[in-house]
Amino acid sequence: MSDTTINTQELGEKIVNVLKTIYDPEIPVDIYELGLIYDVFVNEDHDVKILMTLTSPNCPVAETLPVEVEEKVKSLDMVKDAEVEITFDPPWTQDLMSEEAKLELGLL
């Protein structure tokens, strides 16, 4: 494994840890465990692209949540730039939540 691979993987883990500090205002579970993060891409230049969704297109934080995600990820030393892309394809469902989130919300 090259240094780049390790750094990218390490950075990916750090990004996930940051994402786990961001909560949906309506549900007391972080956005990662909720399944709102579809993908995290990190290139060799440490530019980060996050593909995420919201619980609904009318989500009250549709304007602010992506900005919060971008800013928190950009605050990591190793990240050069971060971009969040919102998608509703596929639409979010409770099936995307982790077991932990389902337990937390009493859905199991």
Residue 1 has pLDDT above 80, yes or no: no
* CATH number of 13's domain: 3.30.300.130
Q: Is residue 106 part of a domain?
A: no
Q: Which residue in this structure is represented by tokens 């990820």?
A: 73
Q: Residue 3 has which token pair?
A: 């240094």
Q: pLDDT tens across 37-79, in order?
A: 999 999 989 999 999 999 988 888 888 999 999 999 999 999 9
Number of domains in the chain: 1
pLDDT at 28 (0 to 100): 86
pLDDT at 2 (0 to 100): 52
For residue 73, how many C-alpha atoms fall within 13 Å in the half-sphere facing its CB?
A: 28
Count of other CB atoms within 10 angstroms of residue 66: 17
d(CA 5, CA 2): 5
Q: Is residue 21 part of a domain?
A: yes
Give residue 21's pLDDT band: very low, low, confident or very high (50, 70, 90): very high
Name the strand (E) or helix (H) holding 82: strand 81-86
Q: Is residue 105 part of a domain?
A: no
